[in-house]
């Protein structure tokens, strides 16, 4: 199967005529159908269960509903985060339901360790102290008065994709289930460098502790170099205030670095000349290696990509033209290229990258594929601007050990069965 810009064979044209938007969406509709069934016991404060009967038979013949102060999704669309049962601090983004690169704010993944705190912005302040000339407190209004900066970037949990860190993954896994702990937003805030200039960092300062004000009072040590580079104290997400699950009213944003270090609900920064060795950076979020050591402060998320369509649990209804689409990102800069293979990694061809391609941000790629109907194994492989090539799981396991933890960025595969079923993994 070679990549083609247009379906230019007779066979392709015939088949193309059968591939309607409806059939392309068949997989998504299946998921939506399940959501509708689940919703059939909706209570009074939930939106009404959508059904074809509720749609106007001809919307051009009836005045629609009036304008509203706050919009809502079409009741025919029910994308949802999947919430883990225990202990309630995890929900995953439905990657397979999304287009483009921005994650809707209400679908941004969650990871928290003591629930989502309710913080009155009037009571909020950020304290910066330690190795500074002037320890200072900044109210939310103070933070917003400083010159702001806006950046679109991904946040990915360091543990995202653990289910793929094996040569024999469970085939019945969706992108959401495997890699749903990554999301992309447009973040607005004050550069931490601006605040550091305001308090006057000591020449010897090299690390700072970032501390949250949820009940886990979570802390991470961060090198001050990241503040001088691109760290933000962010208060805006996708044009509005940050969502409570994402750190309202303000969080640390470290573009390209593992999610846990992007401390939410940030209340305090303690500047030092050494790291603090908190539980979160020692007992957790360190990466055991095969040589009997553990990598500590492994902040950067290396390049990664995954195909989000087609994917489990969707089914390709017929051979012919299908768009392979997915997202790629790197914590080290821009995505330079994404290669796609439809034969299990024997042959690779470059996919199209959707503009804009931004540093430390998800980039959408697409690749036109004419499926013969035979079993096929679809893979994507990201290359970033440093020349890093997304590795195979065998390469990562060789470098770090079979049971290393965190930073699971190996190549993902989907097996398309002759009956159109799509399963996770190359050997599915």
Partner 1 sequence: MVRLRRTFSKYALPAAAVVMLGCASGQGESPRHDAPDSFGFGQLATDDDIRALDIDIMPDGTGLPPGSGSVEHGQRIYAAKCASCHGPTGVEGPYDVLVGRIPNDEFPFANDRSFRSTIGNYWPYATTLYDYIYRTMPFEAPGSLATDEIYSLVAALLFMNDLVPADAVMDAETLPQVVMPSRDRFVADNRRGGPEIR
Q: Does 249 bind partner 1 (CB under 8 A)?
A: no
Nearest to 317 by CA among 88, 27, 45: 27
Among 100, 135, 356, 418, binds partner 1 (CB under 8 A): 135
In angstroms, what is the minimal distance from the CB of 86 to partner 1? Answer: 8
Q: Rule CB under 8 A: which of 335-374 touch partner 1?
A: none
Contact in structure between 92 and 178 (CB atoms under 8 Å): no
With respect to partner 1, which residue has the nearer C-beta, 231 or 376?
231
Q: In what order do the strands lie in the sheet with 363-371?
A: 304-309, 320-329, 363-371, 352-353
The 147-166 contact track toward partner 1, x by CB under 8 A, reads xxx-----------------
Within 87-126, the residues that bind partner 1 by CB under 8 A are 87, 113-114
DSSP 8-state code for residue 421: B
Stretch that binds partner 1, among 49-57, 63-71, 100-108, 133-141 (CB under 8 A): 133-141
Instruction: Note whether 199 and 97 are within 8 A (CB).
Output: no
Judging by beta carbons within 10 Å of its beta carbon (0-12, 13-18, 19+), is residue 122 exposed, middle or buried? exposed
Shortest spacing between CB 74 and partner 1, in angstroms: 36
Q: How many residues of this chain interact with partner 1, rule: CB under 8 A?
A: 72
Distance between CA atoms of residues 30 and 25, nearest Å: 9
Q: Rule CB under 8 A: say whether 37 interacts with partner 1.
A: no
Q: Contacting partner 1 (CB under 8 A), which of 156, 230, 302, 336?
A: 302
User: What per-residue string of b and e applies to 41-67 under the rule 16 or more CB within 10 Å gives b?
Assistant: eeeeeeeebbeeeeeeeeeeeeeeeee
- Which part of the chain contacts partner 1 (CB under 8 A), choosing from 173-181, 208-216, 225-233, 371-379? 208-216
- Considering only 224-232, 284-292, 340-348, 353-361, which stretch makes contact with partner 1 by CB under 8 A? 284-292
Sign, CA dihedral 267-272-276-280, equals positive
186 binds partner 1 (CB under 8 A): no
- Write down the least CB distance from residue 189 to partner 1, Å: 13
Beta bridge partners of 151: 187
Tell the smallest beta-carbon distance from residue 356 to partner 1 (Å).
17
Q: Which bin fits 155, alpha (ψ -120 to 50), beta or left (φ > 0)?
A: beta
Which listed range, 71-79, 91-99, 277-285, 318-326, lies at the site for partner 1 (CB under 8 A)? 277-285
The piece of 15-23, 191-199, 230-238, 367-375 that touches partner 1 (CB under 8 A) is 191-199
> Does the protein bind partner 1 through residue 208 (CB under 8 A)?
no
Distance of alpha carbon 218 from alpha carbon 258, whole angstroms: 15
Report if residue 170 touches partner 1, rule: CB under 8 A. Answer: no
Q: By CB under 8 A, what part of segment 381-400 binds partner 1? A: 384, 386-389, 391, 395-396, 398-400
Which range touches partner 1 (CB under 8 A), out of 35-43, 68-76, 279-287, 352-360? 279-287
Q: Which residue in 182, 183, 179 sits closest to 412, CA to CA?
A: 179
160 Cβ neighbours under 8 A, 6+ residues apart: 179, 180, 181, 182, 259, 408
Residues 55-94 that bind partner 1 (CB under 8 A): 87
CA-based diameter of the chain, in Å? 74
Q: Tell me which residues in 401-420 interact with partner 1 (CB under 8 A).
A: 401-405
Phi/psi of residue 59, each to 5°? -65, -15
């Amino acid at each position: 199967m070679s990549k083609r810009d247009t379906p230019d064979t007779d066979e392709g044209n015939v088949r193309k005529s059968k591939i309607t938007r409806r059939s392309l969406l068949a997989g998504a509709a299946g998921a939506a159908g399940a959501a509708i069934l689940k919703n059939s016991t909706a209570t009074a404060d939930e939106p009404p269960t959508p059904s074809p009967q509720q749609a106007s038979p001809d919307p051009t013949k009836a005045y629609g509903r009036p304008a509203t102060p706050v919009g809502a999704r079409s009741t025919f669309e029910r994308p949802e985060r999947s919430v883990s049962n225990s202990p309630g601090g995890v929900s995953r983004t439905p990657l397979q339901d999304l287009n483009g690169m921005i994650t809707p704010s209400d679908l941004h993944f969650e990871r928290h360790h003591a629930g989502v705190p309710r913080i009155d912005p009037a009571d909020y302040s950020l304290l910066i102290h330690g190795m500074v000339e002037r320890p200072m407190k900044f109210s939310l209004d103070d933070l917003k008065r400083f010159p702001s900066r806006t950046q679109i970037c991904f946040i990915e949990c360091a543990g995202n994709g653990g289910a793929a860190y094996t040569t024999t993954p469970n085939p019945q896994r969706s992108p959401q289930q495997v890699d749903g702990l990554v999301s992309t937003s447009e973040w607005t805030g004050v550069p931490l460098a601006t605040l550091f200039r305001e308090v006057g960092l000591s020449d010897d300062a090299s690390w700072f502790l970032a501390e949250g004000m949820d009940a886990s009072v979570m802390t991470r040590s961060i090198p001050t170099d990241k503040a001088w580079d691109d760290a933000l104290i962010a208060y805006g997400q996708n044009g509005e205030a940050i969502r409570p699950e994402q750190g309202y009213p303000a969080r640390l944003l470290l573009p390209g670095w593992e999610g846990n270090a992007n401390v939410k609900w940030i209340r305090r920064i303690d500047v030092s000349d050494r790291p603090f060795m908190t539980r979160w950076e020692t007992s957790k979020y360190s990466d055991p290696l095969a040589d009997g050591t553990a990598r500590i402060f492994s902040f950067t998320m290396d390049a990664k990509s995954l195909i989000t369509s087609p994917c489990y649990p969707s089914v390709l209804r017929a051979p012919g033209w299908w768009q392979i689409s997915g997202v790629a990102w790197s914590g080290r800069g821009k995505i330079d290229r994404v290669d796609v293979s439809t034969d299990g990694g024997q042959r690779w061809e470059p996919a199209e990258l959707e503009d804009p391609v931004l540093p430390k941000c998800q980039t959408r790629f697409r690749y036109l594929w004419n499926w013969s109907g035979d079993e096929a194994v679809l893979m994507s492989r990201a290359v970033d601007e440093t020349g890093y090539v997304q590795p195979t799981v065998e390469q990562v396991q060789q470098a770090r050990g079979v049971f290393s933890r965190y930073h699971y960025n190996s190549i993902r595969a989907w097996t398309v069965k002759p009956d159109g079923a799509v399963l996770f993994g190359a050997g599915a």
